[in-house]
A and B are shown apart, each in its own frame.
With several copies, the nearest count.
Chain A
């Protein structure tokens, strides 16, 4: 048997778990959470994948790698994202989270494609928790992006009327109510 791949998967709030996938004599062998599963996988003409297990169970779904979080998956119970990373990446991500303290700068990003309708703050402005930063239009809705803790606007990365992709950086806020002088960020 030859090892094909090793992945680390994390559910929301769950501990990372390793999956080993190897090619076996008649199909694939996966080791995961202490269980060994033998199965066979076939690509369907419409792009879905059908998994067939030793006891006859069949599972069919569509999955594609997503740039930012691992795998996006569709099957009979609907769409779900699955966060998968290789072990190295996973350790880096963990480290980043631990460093992320209340003093860290906060990035506000667009959660969906849209258009900037109105910008309510400028670089250097002091902002309070709940204060409106900017308004984005997506479909027919106006979405207000508000600050969730006090701080100072470190930079505004968009302009009014600009078209946005999902995930685009909008505003960076440096936390703290004391308000160190604007413009001194590294």
Chain B
């Protein structure tokens, strides 16, 4: 048996490892930018898809189907991102006689539309944020909804996701302009201009429940994850369990998540996301019909291999675990390590990894997609990998996170590691009293400034220069500082993109 992963980077390697554990051969696909990437070197088979741009390679359905045919792959796993929540790709795989390792296309479609998924959730009795039941045809419908529900509102593109296509509206005077802009953005980004309004939940937590279903009607939940540490709606740190969820609340969240999955007859690994309001009420946000980036924290705490389960149920097997046999142990935390410079507004930092030292020892799991010498290009998502730590409780997990971060070294590109080193010592993060906007508030100028140089740092620098007279003589004279300070200042003028 052979499984093709229609993806790259750490998630391709993660799925290949599950295949090895199951005795399934692996097929990698690659673009011209990735011929020497780790996921290719780890596979039993590998097929070139096309040039570097994703549209011509990792998003090319014909190239992917041809690669499966050429290598005799019978299973296709989409990973996350790229074609992972694309119902047409799932249908194309099935049409080509392949087993798609994911939910049925109908479930992807139902949950892919915000309006349709809200309609189904309402019918299934899953609590949803008060909102319009259909897209607004004109701004006046939003004004009418706002008078009923109260401000602030959140305008949302029905086809949106991942924090894109949303706009906060403070009062009635902003509605017309906000509606026009959100509609045109929704058309531009998602090809669908449908926009509706919801009541905005202020300072919520993002809590999500892991779901596993099989083709025999079994659907179970595998606990919740806390994903409130976000930067501009992008998850940065995830934990399992949530410090804010009591056993009683967990039970209600999991029941609602199973009801949500049951409403679309879910048959794979998936995640139901909720907003948890400060008053303890929770509301369905969306369901991700795929493997989640942050799935490892659930695996560490609940002792379940989500990827092997996902592959097994795709092949028609029953879930190997029952809900009543699962008990959580300890606490896990994941950091997403990106090739971005958190000290320069998270600007992308492509380049060559000149040295890579991964942490090790008890409670440390590395899921990374790079090696020493890897080139981080500008073509794809800049996530390099994930650091996952596990401890007997949250304090030990935090201590192990600090320890693992002190061992971690990536040289050659800037990464988000300095952000995590700062956050793991932050009293508010450590106390767990956060919400989805907390990090954006916390990231004020100077938050990540390094402390003054220590004596050790000064001497290391001086020893390095003493030891390398050649590099000193060939180095160009330093550019006047003002230029670079100016550039950094200009950088901060950039709008979000």
Contact = CB atoms under 8 A, between A and B. Distances in A.
The reply, when asked whether chain A contacts chain B directly with Cβ atoms under 8 A, is yes
Contacts of B478: 68-70, 83, 85, 89, 93
Interface in B378-396: 378-382
A157 interface: no
B476 A51 contact: no
A100 B460 CA distance: 32
Given A46-B372, A46-B373, A28 B463 contact: yes
A143 interface: yes
A49 B372 CA distance: 15
B482 A143 contact: no
A50 B36 contact: yes
B176 to A, nearest CB: 25
A164 to B, nearest CB: 10
Interface in A17-65: 19, 21, 28, 30, 32, 35, 37, 39, 41-52, 55-65
A44 B378 contact: no
B41 A148 contact: no
A11 B458 CA distance: 10
Secondary structure of the A contact surface, majority rule: strand
A26 to B, nearest CB: 11
Contacts of A62: 355, 409, 411
A82 B457 contact: yes
A21 B411 contact: no
Interface stretch (B123-131, B247-255, B327-335, B465-473): B465-473
Given A46-B371, A49-B463, A139-B350, A77 B456 contact: no
A78 B421 contact: yes
Contact of A42 (B36, B378, B477, B483): B36
Q: In the complex, which of the residues B67, B466, B476 has the most CB atoms of chain A within 10 Å of its own CB atom? A: B466
B455 A35 contact: yes
B417 interface: yes
A141 interface: yes
A100 B411 contact: no
Interface residues of B, number: 84
B5 interface: no
Nearest to B70: A56
A59 B493 CA distance: 38
A139 B382 contact: yes
Contacts of B418: 78-79
Nearest to A104: B482
Nearest to B71: A56
Nearest to B411: A74
Contact of B466 (A5, A37, A89, A139): A5
Contacts of A137: 378
Contacts, number: 243
A138 B347 CA distance: 9
A127 interface: no
Interface string A132-145: 00000111111111
B389 to A, nearest CB: 16
Among B47, B463, B472, the most chain A Cβ lie within 10 Å of the Cβ of: B463
A65 B407 CA distance: 22
Contacts of B476: 67-68
A73 interface: yes
Interface string B345-359: 001111110010100
Given A115-B378, A138-B378, A83 B477 contact: no
A79 B411 contact: yes
A57 B47 CA distance: 9
Contact of B468 (A37, A65, A106, A107): A65
A89 B478 CA distance: 8
A139 B350 CA distance: 7
Given A21-B463, A47-B355, A78-B417, A32 B455 contact: yes
B462 A30 contact: yes
A106 B465 CA distance: 32
Interface stretch (B275-283, B361-369, B484-492): B484-492
A1 interface: no
B424 to A, nearest CB: 12
Contacts of B436: none
Contacts of B294: none
B274 to A, nearest CB: 28
B348 A5 contact: no
B481 A83 contact: yes
A84 B374 contact: no
Given A69-B478, A69-B479, A84-B461, 11 more contacts: A19-B462, A44-B371, A50-B46, A69-B481, A76-B407, A96-B482, A137-B378, A138-B350, A143-B497, A145-B490, A148-B490
The 6 closest A-B pairs by CB, nearest first: A45-B373, A139-B348, A59-B456, A63-B464, A58-B46, A56-B71
23 contacts: A14-B452, A41-B463, A43-B36, A43-B467, A44-B371, A46-B355, A57-B456, A58-B43, A61-B456, A65-B475, A67-B476, A70-B478, A74-B411, A75-B457, A77-B450, A79-B414, A84-B462, A108-B490, A109-B487, A111-B491, A112-B350, A139-B381, A144-B495
